[in-house]
Structure 1
C-alpha cells in the first residue's frame, strides 16, 4: 500500500515526538521526495551538513532510514557511478507506535521471561545494540545474583533469536544495480487491480531485502564454540538441516573484527499480529472449534513461515492437524469428524493435505472493517446498499440497487450520492437513447482506491488522537508535576479526569492501529 498524505503527516508526527523537529524535517524530506543523496538532502532541508548527518545517524540507529548504494551506468563510455542514497522506511516509523504490542507478544510466547523482556525492551528503545552494550545496560539495571550478567544476556538473546524476535542488523549500505532500481511503468487502476497482492514490489521492499543478512546468519549468535550445541537452533531457522561446512564458510567470509549489532525483528511481530487478526476474524464468524483448528494449523506451520512468507500455509495432513489440535483442552474434546468439518468451514478442500488461505481471511476482514465504517457513519440503509455493491463487484444501476437492498427509491440516490461524494463509491454516467434520451447512473465499489482512501482516513484519525493526547498533556503539565500530597479535591478531580481521557485516547489509538495494520501491514 502506498504512502498517503496523512500517512506521511502521521509518520512525521511520530518522529517529531520521539526525536525532535530537526530529525523529523530530514525524515519528512525523505518520505516526500524519496531516496536522496546527502548533498540533495542538505539542499532540500536547508540544514547544515552536521545537522543532517546527526539526524541520519539517529534515524539509521532506530531503523527508520536505510542507506544503499545506487549504481548507475556511465555516459559516453565512462565507468559506472555509485552514489550513496538514503531511504526512509515508512513501515518502521509506524512500528514505533506498536512497541507495547511487540512486548506483549514476546511475553506470551516466552512465558513471561523477564530477562528476555528487558533485553527486547532495550532493543526497541535504543534501536540497535551490540552484545557489550546489552551487557552494560543489564548491569546498570540488575542486581548481582547467582549467575553472571553476561551469561544471562547471552541466554536471553539466544531465546529471542530462536523465537525470531531479534535479528542481526542489515548491511549498512547494500548495492542496487540499475536493473533492480528501475521502476516498473505504472498500471491503470481498474476492477482487476483491486487486489493489493498484485501491487508491484516497492523500492523500500527491494532495499530492505537486499540489506537483510542471509538466513543462516540472520538469527545466528556467531559463537563458534557453541555451534555444536545450537545445531537444532539452525535447523529451526532454515527449516532444514544446514551443512556445517556451509555455515563455517559463511562465517569465515565476514570480518572477524567487526561488531555484531542486534535489533528487534519487526517482520516476526507483524506476522504474529497478522495471525492474531486472522484468528479474531474467524472467531467472529465461527465457533471455538474452527478457531482452535486454525490456531493449531498456524502454530504447526510457524517455523516454516518464518523463512518463506506465504499467503497460504504449508500443506498439512489431517493426522498432523488433529495431533496439533489435541494439544490443548478445547481440542481434546474434538472428534476427527469435527476437525474435518472445521477445515471445510475454513475453505480447505477435502484432499490429502490441507492449506489455509490467509489472504482471503484478511481480505474478508478488510471488507468487514469498511462495512462497519459505512454502517456507523451513514446508517443501515447505506450499509445494505454498500454491502450489495461490494458482493456484486460490477457496475449496477440505481434502481436495481434500491430493489436488491430494500431501500426506498427516493432515498437511494441521495445515499449513493453521499457515498460517492465521500469517495466510498465509484460512479459512471451512461447516456441512453432508447426508449428516450436519458442519463443512467451506474455504481460500484472500487476496492483498490477505496482501501487507500480508508487507510488515509485512519492515518488522519490516528494523527488527531495523537495531537489530542499531546494537547491534554501540555495543558495539564503543571498538574502532573505536583506531588500527590499537594493535590486538593478540585485538583484530584482534574487529575482523575485527565487519567480517564488519556486512557480512552490510548485505547482508541490501539484499536485504530489494529484496523490500520489490516490495510497497510497485512
Structure 2
C-alpha cells in the first residue's frame, strides 16, 4: 500500500540518489499512476529529452517498469497499444535496505559474492561481461561467486523491457463485481503494479538459469548443456535453455542481471518470524521452527505467503539434525516443540503434518507493535483500553470499557477521544429509546489502523532522513573545528541512523511482510 508520506519518503530517497530532475519524474508517476511519455512531459513541464533520460535512469535502477497496455476497442475497432511507465514503489524503498542485503550475503557467502552484489546494487543492472570488467579477480572467480549468488536466489534475470498487459474483459469485470457483492473478495486485491511486475517477470524456469560454456563440441562450438541454477539438471530448465538457443538469446555475456529483492525480503521476513518465536519459546522450539522455514523456503512462490507447505514429523526432524545445534535434539523433543508452537498457532497441525502460519505470526507482531506505540504515546490506561478493544474485535460502549480496564469513568471518555482523534479508534454514536439517549461505541478497525500506522512510520522515516542529511552537511562545515565537536556530531548522526534502521524494521513488518 502506498500512503502520502510513503510517497514523500520514496521521492526523498530518489532525490538523494539521483537528483531533483529524476525525482520530479518519479514523483509524477507515484502520484498520478501509469503515464505515457507525452503525459509525463505535460505533467512535469520538462523537455522530452529530460524525461527520457530520467526514465532510463529509473528503469536501470529497477524503480520504473515500462509496459504496453493493449486496449481492445469497444465497438469492434482494432486494439490500441501504448507504452506506459509505472513507478515501482516497493523497489524504490528497498534502496534504503541495501546495507542490510550486503550484511546478509556477507554472513552466508564469501567476500567476492559481497563485492559482486554491491556492484549490482550500485549500478542496478549489469551483464556478466560488465561484472567481469568491474571485478579485480579473474573471470573464473567472478563466475563462481555469480553462481553462488544465483543458487541462493540473491540475483535474478532482469524482467522483460515492455511486457504486454491487457485490460480485463467485460466478463472478468462482471465476475469481479458479482464477487464483491457476494462478499467473496480476495483478501489481497491485485494492484496494477503487481500485474505489471508479474507480466514482466521471466518464467520460473529462466529466472535463475545460467548456462556455463564448457568444453568445445565435435563441430567446434561450445557445449552449453551445463547449467547452474537452484536445482541443476531439471529437464524443464534445459528445455527453456534450448528454446532460448533457438531464438539466438543464449549469449550469457549479454543477459542483464539484478539483485532479487524478493529473496532478501523473504529472508528478512523469516528472521522476523524467528525473533518472534524466540521471544516466546525456548531454544529447542526456535531450532525446530527455523528448520521448518529452511525446509519450505524453496516452495514459497511469493513473499507474503500466508502458510508454508506441509511437512511430516520425520521431514522436520531430518531438517533439524542437519544443523550442529539440532543434533542434540531427540525425535520426541521435536514433537514436543511442535506442540508448543501450536499455541499460539504459529504452526498448524493436521494428521501428523505441520505447516508454518505466517499470517498469524505477522498479525501478532503487528498488534504488539501498535500496542507498544499506544503505550509510549498515551500511557498505560490507554494501552489497556486499546488492547481490550483490539482483542474484542467488536463495538464496546464507554462504560464497559471503563469497567473492564479498571479506569475511572470520568477519565475513560477523555482517553478514548484522544485515541479516536489520532485515528487509532473508530467511534459510532447511537441514540436509543424514546428519550434518544446517546451512546458512544468504540472499536479498533485493524485494516484502516494498519494503513494509518504505516503512514505515520513513513512520516517519521522521512523526517529522520531529512535530519540525517542535515547532520551530514553540518559535519562537512565543521571539518576544521575542534575534534570534540566533530565527535559529538558523529555520535548524534550514528544514533539517528540506528533509529532509521529500527524504524525500517517496523515499516517492513507493516508493508513488506
Same fold flag (TM > 0.5)? yes
Give the whole-Å Cα distance in 2 for the aligned partners of 1:164 and 1:251.
Answer: 23
Structure 1 residue 341 displacement after superposition: 2.3
Change (3 A) 1:26 1:85: same
Q: 1:516 aligns with which of 504, 507, 513?
A: 507
Give the whole-Å Cα distance in 1 for the aligned partners of 2:106 and 2:458.
Answer: 28
Contact 2:211 2:226 in 1 (8 A): no
Q: How does 1:423-442 map to 2 (within 5 A)?
A: 423-433=423-433, 436-442=435-441
Structure number with higher relative contact order (C-alpha < 8 Å, ≥ 6 residues apart): 1
Match of 1:116 in 2: 113
Q: 1:505 aligns with which of 496, 504, 511?
A: 496
CA-atom RMSD in angstroms: 2.5
Give the whole-Å Cα distance in 2 for the aligned partners of 1:26 and 1:67.
Answer: 14
Match of 1:132 in 2: 129
Change (3 A) 1:117 1:243: closer
Change (3 A) 1:262 1:430: same
Bigger Cα displacement from structure 2, 46-55 vs 74-83: 74-83
Does residue 67 of structure 1 match 2:95?
no
Q: TM-score, normalised by structure 1?
A: 0.89
Give the whole-Å Cα distance in 2 for the aligned partners of 1:227 and 1:351.
Answer: 46
Offset from partner CA, 1:153-209 (integer Å, 9 cap, x none): 1111111110000001000000001228998679999xx99x9x8130111111000
Contact 1:16 1:23 in 2 (8 A): yes
Match of 1:389 in 2: 389
Change (3 A) 1:250 1:228: closer
Structure 1 residue 89 displacement after superposition: 0.2
Contact 1:235 1:241 in 2 (8 A): no
Q: How does 1:292-331 map to 2 (within 5 A)?
A: 292-305=287-300, 310-331=305-326
Structure 1 residue 28 displacement after superposition: 0.1
Match of 2:153 in 1: 164
Offset from partner CA, 1:248-297 (integer Å, 9 cap, x none): 12443453579210100000000000001111111112222221111010
Change (3 A) 1:132 1:230: closer
Give the whole-Å Cα distance in 1 for the aligned partners of 2:82 and 2:492.
Answer: 49
Match of 1:373 in 2: 373
Change (3 A) 1:16 1:188: farther
Change (3 A) 1:392 1:187: farther
Structure 1 residue 73 displacement after superposition: 1.7
Give the whole-Å Cα distance in 1 for the aligned partners of 2:267 and 2:23.
Answer: 30
Offset from partner CA, 1:340-393 (integer Å, 9 cap, x none): 222122223252211111111011111110011001111111111111111100
Does residue 358 of structure 1 match 2:361?
no
Match of 1:146 in 2: none
Does residue 262 of structure 1 match 2:261?
no
Change (3 A) 1:365 1:251: farther
Which contiguous aligned blocks of 4+ residues in structure 1 show a shift greater than 4 angstroms? 180-189, 224-229, 306-309
Give the whole-Å Cα distance in 1 for the aligned partners of 2:239 and 2:452.
Answer: 52
Q: Secondary structure at the match of 1:311?
A: coil
Contact 2:309 2:355 in 1 (8 A): yes
Structure 1 residue 475 displacement after superposition: 2.3
Contact 2:274 2:289 in 1 (8 A): yes
Structure 1 residue 432 displacement after superposition: 1.2
Q: TM-score, normalised by structure 2?
A: 0.91
- Matched residue count: 495
Bigger Cα displacement from structure 2, 439-448 vs 281-290: 281-290
Contact 2:206 2:240 in 1 (8 A): no
Change (3 A) 1:350 1:35: closer
Change (3 A) 1:105 1:162: same
